[in-house]
A and B are shown apart, each in its own frame.
Chain A
Amino acid sequence: MSAREPILRIENLSVALPAGLDRAYAVQDVSLDVHRRQIVCVVGESGSGKSVTASAVMRLLPEKVLRITGGTIRLEGEDIAAATPARLCELRGNRMAMIFQEPLTALNPVMRIGDQIAEVLRIHRPEMTRERVSERVVELMADVHLPDPSRLARAYPHQLSGGQRQRVMIAMALALEPALIIADEPTTALDVTTQAQILRLFRELLTKHDSGVLMITHDFGVVADVADHVLVMRQGEVVERGAPDRVLNAPEHPYTRALIEAVPRFRYRTEPALDDKPVLAVEELSLTYRTTSFLGSRRETRALDAVSFRLSPGETLGVVGESGSGKTSLAKTLLRFETPDTGHILFKGRDIAGLGGVELRQMRRHIQMVFQDPYKSLNPRRRIGQSLIEGPVEHGTPRAQAIDRAEELMELVGLRRDALDRFPHEFSGGQRQRICIARALAMEPSVIVADEAVSALDVSVQAQVLRLFDDLQKQLGFAMIFVTHDLRVASNICDRIAVMQRGRIVEIGPSRRVFLEPEADYTRELLAAVPGFAREAAAG
């Protein structure tokens, strides 16, 4: 096989959907090549068929539901469709490997990391000696820059960070030096700084192992950083392809343009005048998680360390940082799902840090939360209407009045009134998040805490929900604490930004100032890691 021949060649691939759906094909007439040392990115929103394409290459489609109806997939010249099950097993791992989005669920929780990597080798390379296998495992772990490989090989998945777990997944994929690596949203579950490292790693390993990568992503920042070639998919069809510079800067297809438009850019709000009377004042808040192990040894984790800030009425304060920085702990503590060790949470001058029982329940209507995952934060067994009026009725609003208000709220968040009679599973992710926002608003709160409220949504939906937050805030005037790991999103919606690291606020100030003239080193690190940030900053 010559070096110029592509590793993967997909020609006119079509995958049929079962009859009776909104469209006949999950993937229609898709062609693409992946060459050696090349990263090909397939971009699209949920339902665009990008993951189906990836699964088709691995022959991982549920064949009764999704049938390949046309086209060929050739891996190094070999037709995948014609491969016998035995041959497929050889190909998977040996010649092609897949890396999944969520590295925690893709690893066996009760098996040591080293053993999991070794298993791949033992199955596909039975001739290797035990010593050789363990040597190779350590080599691989060093290749993906895991610290202290020989010690880490004895660790279990839960003892690793998200980024480390993804590195382990990559090490497993690389174990047999496959020609093709398929990566399905490999960095979506990771922090920006970790994401940047993993993307660098992909590039480095590609050169070292002479392989090609087919990367599925929804993030144009990722595309800008690593892609050699981009395909944009929409409803199963490729609408645009080309070099990333061309596609990103001069998109030809209107859909590509719309998608790129929807990506939040750094955009700053005008600085608000700070009110003397904060709606929420947090003083020296500290929270420690204590865990006692089976043998009685205690571990303490400082989740919040003397956190102080003030929130003015109508203001939005962004809380950003990596995972483990304490931003979610802060949200939970403000909602009083956690009780702080020390410090005060003054809501309109009243300390709520130590409230309990009925007093706490009374208080809760004033501070409401919008959760990250709209698929989990609505009770699947209750109608939307029931969920919406539950809180107000509990706090003494007459039922009829609560229902009227719920109908108004539905329209306010852009849904139809009759949505109240339906169940959560009848709505898309974006619609559910609107419902969750309506549920929070039904309580007429003074403060809304949004914990990664748009992180689980597609970019175009994300943009809509952000706009909704903005509009509602102007109309209703609540203050908001917006927790997010996405700095672009934060710059769009927040008046001020608090940067957290290891339970402390390392920097707090107006968004524009924090992002354009960061004072703390950590803020600079965070900004540098945002995919495409340098490019955007240069462009102004």
Chain B
Amino acid sequence: MSATERVNTSSRRDHVIDAILANRVALLSGMLLLAIVLSAILATMITGDDAFLIRPRQRLRPPSAEFWFGTDALGRDVFALVLHGGRISLLVGLLAALAGAAIGTVIGLLTGYLRWLDPVVMRIMDGIMAIPGILFAVALVSLVGPSLITIVAAITFAEIPRVTRLVRSVVLTVREEAYVRAAEGLGIPPLLVLTRHILPSCIAPLIVQTTYMFAAAILSEAVLGFLGVGFPPDLPSWGNVLAEGRAVFQRAPWTIIAPGLFLAVTVMAVNLLGDGLRDRLDPRLSRAAKVSS
């Protein structure tokens, strides 16, 4: 009893150091992410108009002063492809992650809090989980035709049950907390109890899940591209550049290393930023510094 109290107070100083370190990492990730986003937005300015120029005589050239990341099987500049590809990939990742998190959270909050809704909705979620996500995406895209909206919708759909389950599990635990009881005892209407007292506890796991979804969505888009139901090759994304590079990767590894590196760095930066954000959102972690002073 007293031992744990000691430990808590004693680690306050460590918290300060941790907070600075975590923030420094988060700051760095944020800057890195910003750079990647900017490079995608300004892709045309950086690489010029002839980014997609097919150069049959310069196929599979290794990285050089002229082509920083080499060229692909069609002789296109991989550097330009990767920068342009970031536009589609980041957009798909962002939209799918946000949409998935938003829809999943609303459903999860309601099913967790309203007991009568729970069995019905959760069985529907089980049903969705039973459908392989890619299969559904392929079906939807071939039915409606590939466009940003259909591809994002197809990817989001498969992610909703995961978010719902996550949020629901948090709600089920938190709604038994005495402070939720206390709020109900004050006569606070259910909707406010949900948003004010229960939702904040879901944020930390949600951020982690959302960053994961962001990465997964970029990869899903790549798989769709690979299967030929994603964006056409003349609209490059990290996914379809990777997919095309696969065929020649033994002879020209740079065709997949470059987009792979961008993808990996982006996902990592998003995750680290998410971690930093999560810590800041918890007053027990971020405020400890202020108290001890």
Chain A residues proximal to chain B, CB less than 8 Å:
17-18, 20-21, 26, 44, 46-52, 55, 61-62, 65-66, 101, 184-185, 335, 337, 360-365, 368-369, 371-373, 376-382, 390-391, 394-395, 423, 425-426, 436, 439, 443
Give A349 Cβ to nearest chain B Cβ, in Å. 20
Which residues of chain B come closer than 8 Å to A425, judged between CB atoms? 283-284, 287-288
Contact present for A423 and B2 (CB under 8 Å)? no
- Residue pair A20, B13 in contact (C-beta under 8 Å): yes
Binary A-proximity of B231-251 (CB < 8 A = 1, otherwise 0): 000000000000000000000
Report the bound CA distance from A65 to B288 in whole Å. 18
Residues of A within 8 A of B13 (CB): 18, 20
B197 proximity list for chain A (CB < 8 A): 379, 382
Q: Name the segment of B49-57, B94-102, B146-154, B179-187 touching the other chain.
A: B179-187
Instruction: State whether A390 touches B181 (Cβ < 8 A).
Output: no
Which of B185, B189, B201, B287 is A369 in contact with, Cβ under 8 Å?
B185
Q: How many residues of B contact A (CB 8 A)?
A: 34
What B residues does A363 contact at CB under 8 A?
187
Q: Is B123 an interface residue (CB 8 A)?
A: no
Report whether B188 and A390 are in contact in the complex, using a CB–CB cutoff of 8 Å.
yes
* Cβ-defined contact, A55 with B6, below 8 A: no
Quick check: A48 and B287 within 8 Å, CB to CB?
no
Contact A337 B10 (CB under 8 A): no
Q: Show 27 residue pairs from A and B whose CB-CB distance is below 8 angstroms, ordered by the A residue.
A: A17-B10, A18-B13, A20-B13, A20-B292, A21-B10, A51-B3, A52-B2, A62-B3, A65-B6, A66-B3, A66-B6, A101-B1, A185-B1, A337-B184, A364-B184, A365-B186, A365-B187, A368-B186, A369-B185, A376-B178, A377-B178, A379-B179, A379-B197, A390-B188, A394-B192, A395-B187, A423-B284
Secondary structure at the A interface, as helix, strand, loop or mixed, is: loop
A390 to B13, CA, bound (A): 33
The answer to whether A439 and B1 have CB atoms under 8 Å apart is no
Complex Cα distance A271/B10, Å? 49
- A52-B185 Cα distance, complex, nearest whole Å: 39
Q: Are B179 and A423 in contact (CB under 8 A)?
A: no
Given contacts A368-B186, A394-B187, A423-B287, 11 further A-B contacts (CB under 8 A): A47-B2, A52-B3, A52-B6, A65-B7, A337-B184, A364-B186, A371-B181, A391-B186, A394-B188, A436-B182, A443-B186
Q: Determine if B6 and A46 form an interchain contact, defined as CB atoms under 8 angstroms apart.
A: no
Q: B228 in the interface, Cβ–Cβ < 8 Å?
A: no
Q: Does B5 sit within 8 A of A, measured CB to CB?
A: yes
Q: Give the CA-CA distance A443 to B185 in the complex, in Å.
A: 10
Q: What residues of chain A lie closer than 8 Å to B291, measured between beta carbons?
A: 426
In the complex, which of the residues A21, A44, A362, A390 contacts B183, with contact meaning CB atoms closer than 8 Å?
Answer: A390
Which residues of the other chain, A, contact B9 by a CB distance below 8 angstroms? 21
Least CB distance, B176 to chain A, in whole angstroms = 10
Say yes or no for B195: interface residue by CB 8 A criterion.
no
For A337, the chain B residues whose CB sits under 8 A away are 181, 184-185
Measured in the bound complex, the distance between the Cα atoms of B4 and A101 in whole Å is 14
Tell me which residues across on chain A come within 8 A of B284, comparing CB atoms: 380, 423, 425
Interface residues of B in 76-98 (CB under 8 A from A): none
Minimum Cβ distance to chain A for residue B6 (Å): 6
Report Cα–Cα, A426/B8, bound state, in Å. Answer: 12
Which among B3, B185, B187, B287 is the interface contact of A61 at CB below 8 angstroms?
B3
Bitwise interface map of B from 199 to 211 toward A, beta carbon under 8 Å scored 1, else 0: 0110000000000
A46 to B1, CA, bound (A): 7
Say yes or no for B142: interface residue by CB 8 A criterion.
no
Nearest chain B CB to A432's CB is how many angstroms away?
A: 11
Contact A62 B181, beta carbon cutoff 8 Å: no
B157-192 interface bits toward A, Cβ cutoff 8 Å, 1 = contact, 0 = none:
000000000000000000001110111111111001
Q: Which residues of A contact B177 (CB under 8 A)?
A: 376
**Inter-chain contact B182/A377, CB cutoff 8 Å:** yes
Q: How far is the CB of B69 from chain A (nearest CB, A)?
A: 46
| Assembled-state Cα–Cα distance A26/B2 (Å) | 9
A44 CA / B177 CA spacing, docked (Å):
30
